[in-house]
Structure 1
């Protein structure tokens, strides 16, 4: 990591921009040999990246009974995990961390104090501002002539025209936001209109790519994400949760799997309301996070989400063997 930052620093000079940090991650993702050549222990470390999320949720769930020092350590682990992801370009990972923490606070056993609400509002605002700055770093300064054609894409138009009069980059930023929110449905239409890929369906290999890499290290021969992206139309875009399910399970079984997800959410949520266990709390947050952004992106398909699944399995197994205390 240090070498990567140093190399970028020499490339950008003394003024290392936010774009530079983002390029660390982009360069790693684009290196196909890295996927195939990384060590087995490297895969294991990737699958353990979800434990900072668990630390933050533990701090929320047991905030009534844990000492202030323990809460400080747990919250510190959560913040360090989110920041380390964010500073290496993983904005969506940091967004997921923040989203899950917000759901934890919303359904957790302790009502939010005004001070905590303000802190969360500040955290969300800072995240949006820095993400916007990363995007603006990438596109550079633009004048009116370069972005005027985008006005027809902005809604409402009077608002877009006002932004244009203030700063042309704000119009581009508005398009960026609208694109992230709405392009998943558009790309889903593109996906369903295109011919099916050669090895379709992928039976989980599209979304659970990190597990696929690990199993292939153990001697299995499962199609990997590099081979999948070479087959599908518009690789690198979001297809919504429905699109990801379609690629993995086809038309019929994607409906069945989605139905099973809904049933499991109902069971887990009912158990949490009655039993108040940590495992049900964690699983409820995972399902709520998946549903809240399902019209945009498949969180399951994000590489880091495999690590969150591993941490959830750890909690479930530990809770079965050594029942954790419940909270009221």
Structure 2
């Protein structure tokens, strides 16, 4: 099975960040030294690479190949778990939070964002279960030859629920996470089920990446291009709707330049171009800038964060990074810190801090050790994915998305962690489910 190596994905992530950063018509501002933050960021990155390199293929035990019977049984079980989660999600959105029936969805979203457990215990159960619908869809697509068109279509329809909900709510992050993971698994399925020729892109003697030739055929290239254009237009529209809601107008530059917002200094040429443009062109300029800012600002925010924190030994030791799982215990009255309380140590909220920022908040410099073992874990999943094991192929698609975006965002943070939980449960199910289980109905 051909999948991109994790180290290559990591360097691609850095190149993506650099590509957008050099385009930014702003100067990012910060206080304090840049040496310590950049040095720790280097140590995190180096530790991740060393962790990957330290695990040798020969040290990993080969897994038993799952039979088609086992695959179908597990996929059907997970489908029904995911379906229950989706139905509960819809019920909670209509009757508990009432966000699906609100006149102003964006206003309702702002109202509920700062509240924990607002959907009750039922909402927690729904949040844990509904990602299984998406994970099931990935498994079915990778093994699509095992299913009839009707069953495959049904699984895909239910599995696409997270996309529909995110668009309905006016979000983007989850679409990027799940959409990129979907593409990784789709290409893996293509490689598995066809004799897939590839274009090898090399730099001298170093192979950078192998891309399936089908990517450059009109039947694939045009839909991918259309999806990219539609998502970009959707992102621009989301930004401008939010700016309209807050009534910034031509004050947008002044607001974004403030220290408690983006804390940047816009280029005068960009400002002049903006103010002499039509309203439609203004919306495009500010929308495209905002989209590029999402890619570019993570490293700067990490610098700001590490300069701002008082401690270098960490604060919450995992609770900040995986707060969504601790909500379950807080629902039973266990006195753990809420998300609001944990955010008190962070001056700049609701910003990306690269993949490593949350680790630094949780563990400080000790996070460098955690990242080493994270690298070894990623390598283990990668090797099993290379051997074509379904549960690891789809998991590596998710991890590949996390790695290729690690220079600007941490996709393990927040509600994205529910998908991580679902992938882990799939691994456990494959480990303990018999390979040739037969159900016999007794008379």
**Match in the other structure for 1:93:** 174
**Match in the other structure for 1:39:** 120
Mapped to 2, the partners of 1:146 and 1:233 lie a distance apart of 21
Counterpart check, 1:184 vs 2:298 = yes
- Of residues 306, 309, 320, the one that matches 1:206 is 320
**Match in the other structure for 1:279:** 391
- Of residues 49, 56, 62, the one that matches 2:143 is 62
- How far does the alpha carbon of each residue in 1:107-160 deviate from its partner, in whole angstroms, 9 at most, with x for none? 3324567535543433333222112112112223998897699997369x68x9
Instruction: Between 172-181 and 140-149, report the one with greater CA deviation.
Output: 140-149
Counterpart check, 1:302 vs 2:414 = yes
Normalising by the residue count of structure 1, what TM-score does the alignment of the two structures yield? 0.81
Structure with greater strand share of residues: 2
Mapped to 2, the partners of 1:208 and 1:143 lie a distance apart of 37
Q: CA RMSD in A?
A: 3.3
The answer to whether the Cα contact below 8 Å between 1:188 and 1:240 also exists between their aligned partners in 2 is yes
RCO higher in structure (CA 8 A, sep ≥6): 2
Gaps of 5+ in 1: 9-19
Counterpart check, 1:27 vs 2:111 = yes
- Of residues 360, 372, 376, the one that matches 1:259 is 372
Mapped to 1, the partners of 2:119 and 2:291 lie a distance apart of 34
Mapped to 2, the partners of 1:106 and 1:175 lie a distance apart of 31
The answer to whether the Cα contact below 8 Å between 2:378 and 2:399 also exists between their aligned partners in 1 is yes
- How far does the alpha carbon of each residue in 1:63-96 deviate from its partner, in whole angstroms, 9 at most, with x for none? 2332211221122122222111221233211221
Instruction: Between 183-192 and 74-83, report the one with greater CA deviation.
Output: 74-83
The answer to whether the Cα contact below 8 Å between 2:236 and 2:284 also exists between their aligned partners in 1 is no
User: What displacement does 1:163 show?
Assistant: 10
Counterpart check, 1:240 vs 2:354 = yes
Mapped to 2, the partners of 1:302 and 1:94 lie a distance apart of 14
Mapped to 2, the partners of 1:83 and 1:246 lie a distance apart of 33
The answer to whether the Cα contact below 8 Å between 2:314 and 2:360 also exists between their aligned partners in 1 is no
The answer to whether the Cα contact below 8 Å between 1:269 and 1:280 also exists between their aligned partners in 2 is yes
Mapped to 2, the partners of 1:324 and 1:23 lie a distance apart of 50
Aligned residues: 307
Gaps of 5+ in 2: 1-92, 197-213, 258-263, 437-443
The answer to whether the Cα contact below 8 Å between 2:235 and 2:287 also exists between their aligned partners in 1 is no
The answer to whether the Cα contact below 8 Å between 2:298 and 2:352 also exists between their aligned partners in 1 is yes
Structure with greater helix share of residues: 1
- Of residues 211, 219, 231, the one that matches 1:127 is 231
Alpha carbons of structure 1 residues 164 and 54: separation in structure 2 relative to 1, 3 Å:
farther
Normalising by the residue count of structure 2, what TM-score does the alignment of the two structures yield? 0.62
SS in 2 for 1:122: helix
- How far does the alpha carbon of each residue in 1:165-219 deviate from its partner, in whole angstroms, 9 at most, with x for none? 4612222123212321111111111111013379942111112111011022234
**Match in the other structure for 1:231:** 345
SS in 1 for 2:229: helix
Mapped to 2, the partners of 1:198 and 1:223 lie a distance apart of 20
